[in-house]
Amino acid sequence: MKPEWIAADWGTSHLRVWAMEGSTPIDHAQSDMGMARVSKGGFEDALLALIEGWLDNAPVDVVACGMVGARQGWVEAPYAAVPTTPVQGVPIRVPATDPRVRAFVVPGLKQVAPPDVMRGEETQIAGFLDTHPNWDGVICLPGTHTKWVQVSANEVVSFRTFMTGELFDLLRGQSVLRHSVSEGWDEAAFSEAVEDTLSKPEQLAARLFSLRAADLLHGQDGSTARARLSGLLIGAELAASRPYWLGQQIAIIGAEGLSAAYAKALQPQGAFVEMADATTSTLAGLNKARNMTRETV
Amino acid sequence: MKPEWIAADWGTSHLRVWAMEGSTPIDHAQSDMGMARVSKGGFEDALLALIEGWLDNAPVDVVACGMVGARQGWVEAPYAAVPTTPVQGVPIRVPATDPRVRAFVVPGLKQVAPPDVMRGEETQIAGFLDTHPNWDGVICLPGTHTKWVQVSANEVVSFRTFMTGELFDLLRGQSVLRHSVSEGWDEAAFSEAVEDTLSKPEQLAARLFSLRAADLLHGQDGSTARARLSGLLIGAELAASRPYWLGQQIAIIGAEGLSAAYAKALQPQGAFVEMADATTSTLAGLNKARNMTRETV
């Protein structure tokens, strides 16, 4: 069945596409041809490889968000500056040679001071706000680069990026801690570690190596070490982002397990946390962006 | 010329050896056969490959310190628990099959709570104290895993390890920041960044990604980014280690450039800092350990 349009979430490491009927996904495909693996000039082919079976002779709209709009991406989609609605104006039209494809990229957002940028999360925020009209508060989007986003009157007012996910991956996979961190989880160790760095953030630097030493000297379990490492880093992030979330209504948009960890970390702080599914938000945001292309193109 | 004995600094990534005449090095060699690259059973060969030319038929003492004494090393040299003199008792004799070599490994130190360990630095500390009798204060040994060590009455009283060097290498070489950090240095940016995290350590998590965004939005120079990254991490370390150094006499034992950066970071805090050469301290410490083997073996 030919879709009405095609949604694409094109990040650094993955390309995920959905065949859409209005706001409903009817088929899905994905590949590891993320922006980082595709060379300039190869984007159209990487896309066609996934959506070929959905095409016929009539041109179809493909609306994409994420790092595909970066300088090294398919086309550089200039950032919109905050404060702004998360998806503002018509997405950028991308030059495609295949006449069956009319491709668009949603621009990211920038903040001049302190300097910060996002690509992809603005679409999830737009999707969330589409189903939560007049929602004011703070949105947390946990991931490789977690974003904390202040939203008011349907605009992104300010935001801040934390490299928590990337730090966790590097420390767990490539630092000396890799010898002491395994799979598995220890809920109590996680909560205790969050509390540790949230109350004494200056101690983070000292506590990381303790995960190695506690293994060498006391045989600390690898799953405990994993939960503690995650808790120490998320606690440090919550200490730094406190001005964002303290006393605010909070929505977490992300993958289920990671969102649950953030919710668990925030609960003892008396925070009211609402959760939203990442993919649902992405598709709702891309649908909103697509409606803008139809109104004006 | 045949040396009187051989000193070896055998760390995770390198093996460095010196032909010694008393306390004076007369020749030097090194290889990248660090503990991490040598498999169990291969340590003797890795050593002989470097020192073969210094051997004749009479057996010679080889005294080594560092990760060679870890569980994955040549022989596990059990940690001595603090408080203790940094090099206590006779080094551990290592079983070597070549009759020309009598090899010894200096044990590391451990601290039960908070859990911490060192291997190699205890030898540098012993060497420093050998030339600074009755020195009381705090020794900083910057490196991949920086140590802060409280010394009193010729004993190591307590210590704490910071993964600052390893974090810097991972963030600079493998995180998203690698696109924005180059070679070079910016002294003012370094000092400003140290001050940033030393005064507001909870902001570290937020400031790292700014190095990327400041490049994308404002074209921040890569050498400025490098100095800022180093400053942010060293500032965070100084915030965590403040109970160690505040109001204390401080000695820095390390490589010249890195030691100078730490001294620069500490100066605005009114700290009195003395510098000692790392290799000189290592050789003095190994000589001290070697004298212990001669007294008793």
Is the distance from CB of A65 to CB of A285 less than 8 angstroms?
Answer: yes
* Stated pTM of the model: 0.93
- Give tens-digit pLDDT for B51-104: 999 999 899 999 999 999 999 999 999 999 999 999 988 899 998 999 999 999
Banded pLDDT at B185 (limits 50, 70, 90): very high
User: Residue-wise over A148-167: b if at least 16 C-beta within 10 A, else e?
Assistant: bbbbeebebebbbbbbbbbb
**Which residues make Cβ contacts (< 8 Å) with residue A235, sequence separation at least 6?**
A193, A194, A195, A196, A197, A198, A201, A204, A265
Give pLDDT, residue A293: 85
Start-end ranges of CATH 3.30.420.310 in chain B?
161-277
Q: Nearest Cα to B96, choosing from B40, B29, B45?
A: B45
| Sign of the alpha-carbon torsion through A222, A223, A226, A228 | negative
Start-end ranges of CATH 3.30.420.300 in chain B?
5-118+282-296
Average pLDDT over residues A227-250: 96
**CA A195 to chain CA centroid, nearest Å:** 25
- Give tens-digit pLDDT for B190-202: 999 999 999 999 8
Give pLDDT, residue A272: 86
| Sign of the alpha-carbon torsion through B168, B173, B176, B181 | positive
Task: Decide if B145 touches A, using CB distance below 8 A.
Answer: yes
Task: Decide if B246 touches A, using CB distance below 8 A.
Answer: no
Average pLDDT over residues A278-284: 97
Query: Cβ A162–B206 below 8 Å, yes or no?
Result: yes
A243: preceding bond cis by omega (within 30 degrees): no
Q: How far does B53 lie from chain A, in Å, by closest CA?
A: 35
- The size of the A-B interface in CB pairs under 8 A is 136
Residues of chain B with C-beta less than 8 angstroms from the C-beta of A167:
171, 175, 208
CA distance A191 to A176: 23
Give pLDDT, residue B293: 85
CA distance B284 to B107: 16
Find where tokens 């050593």 sit: B47
Chosen for mutation from A204, A220, A228, A241 (greatest number of chain B CBs closer than 10 Å) is A204
Average pLDDT over residues A83-96: 92
Single-letter amino acid code for the residue at B81: A
Q: Nearest Cα to A273, choosing from A258, A263, A261, A281?
A: A263
| Average predicted confidence (pLDDT) for chain B | 95
Q: How far does A77 lie from chain B, in Å, by closest CA?
A: 13
Q: What is the DSSP string of B65-79?
A: ESGGGSTTSSS--PP
Task: Decide if A171 touches B, using CB distance below 8 A.
Answer: yes
Query: Cβ B217–A163 below 8 Å, yes or no?
Result: no
For A8, the token pair is 């694409």
Is the distance from CB of B264 to CB of B250 less than 8 angstroms?
Answer: no
- Give tens-digit pLDDT for A190-229: 999 999 999 999 889 889 999 999 999 999 999 999 999 9
Average pLDDT over residues A17-29: 97
CB-closest option in A163, A239, A241 to B209: A163
CA distance B246 to A200: 18
Task: Decide if A196 touches B, using CB distance below 8 A.
Answer: no
Query: Cβ B240–A203 below 8 Å, yes or no?
Result: yes
Is the distance from CB of A6 to CB of A62 less than 8 angstroms?
Answer: yes
Query: Cβ B145–A209 below 8 Å, yes or no?
Result: yes
Q: How far does A246 lie from chain B, in Å, by closest CA?
A: 15
Give pLDDT, residue B233: 97
- Give tens-digit pLDDT for B12-50: 999 999 999 999 999 999 999 999 999 999 999 999 999
Q: How far does A225 lie from chain B, in Å, by closest CA?
A: 13
Find where tokens 């620069």 sit: B264
Single-letter amino acid code for the residue at B158: S
Q: How far does A196 lie from chain B, in Å, by closest CA?
A: 12
| Sign of the alpha-carbon torsion through B113, B116, B122, B124 | negative
Please report the ipTM that was assigned to this predicted complex.
0.92
- Give tens-digit pLDDT for B221-235: 999 999 999 999 999
Give pLDDT, residue A271: 87
- Give tens-digit pLDDT for A177-189: 999 999 999 999 9
Give pLDDT, residue A296: 56
Task: Decide if A237 touches B, using CB distance below 8 A.
Answer: yes
Q: Angle B222-245/B187-199 helices, nearest 10 degrees?
A: 40
Q: How far does B158 lie from chain A, in Å, by closest CA?
A: 13
Give pLDDT, residue A295: 65
Query: Any idea what the Cα angle at residue B5 is, between residues B12 and B66, rounded to 5°?
Result: 15
Give pLDDT, residue B65: 98
**DSSP state, residue B183:** S
B275 pLDDT above the threshold of 60: yes
CA distance B216 to B196: 21
Query: Any idea what the Cα angle at residue B55 is, between residues B53 and B56, rounded to 5°?
Result: 120
Query: Cβ A116–B242 below 8 Å, yes or no?
Result: no
For A93, the token pair is 């039209």
Banded pLDDT at A35 (limits 50, 70, 90): very high
Give pLDDT, residue A202: 87
Residues of chain B with C-beta less than 8 angstroms from the C-beta of A161:
206, 209, 213
Q: How far does A176 lie from chain B, in Å, by closest CA?
A: 8
CB-closest option in A213, A239, A241 to B117: A213
> How crowded is residue A215: how many other Cβ atoms within 10 Å of its Cβ?
20
Q: Nearest Cα to A105, choosing from A47, A72, A71, A66?
A: A66
Average pLDDT over residues B107-132: 97
Banded pLDDT at B295 (limits 50, 70, 90): low
Residue percentage of chain A with pLDDT more than 90: 92
CA distance A238 to A164: 10
**Which residues make Cβ contacts (< 8 Å) with residue B91, sequence separation at least 6?**
B63, B77, B104, B105, B106, B107, B289, B292, B293
CB-closest option in B170, B217, B236 to A175: B170
- In B, residues 147-166, which contact A (CB 8 Å cutoff)? 160-164, 166
Give pLDDT, residue B296: 56
Query: Cβ B174–A176 below 8 Å, yes or no?
Result: no
Q: How far does A141 lie from chain B, in Å, by closest CA?
A: 14
| Average predicted confidence (pLDDT) for chain A | 95
Query: Cβ B203–A162 below 8 Å, yes or no?
Result: no
B1 pLDDT above the threshold of 80: no
- Residue in chain B closest to A117 (alpha carbons) equals B213
Query: Cβ B145–A174 below 8 Å, yes or no?
Result: no
Give pLDDT, residue B10: 97
**Which residues make Cβ contacts (< 8 Å) with residue B39, sequence separation at least 6?**
none
Beta-bridge partner residues of A31:
A15
CB-closest option in B161, B171, B209 to A116: B209
| Sign of the alpha-carbon torsion through B172, A244, A274, A157 | negative
Task: Decide if A217 touches B, using CB distance below 8 A.
Answer: yes
Banded pLDDT at B205 (limits 50, 70, 90): confident
Give pLDDT, residue A88: 84
Hey, what CATH class is B5-118+282-296 in? alpha beta
Q: Nearest Cα to A64, choosing from A133, A146, A24, A122?
A: A122
CA distance A241 to B33: 44
Residues of chain A with C-beta less than 8 angstroms from the C-beta of B174:
170, 174
For B230, the token pair is 């180093």
Topology of domain B161-277, per CATH?
Answer: Nucleotidyltransferase; domain 5 (3.30.420)
B297 pLDDT above the threshold of 60: no
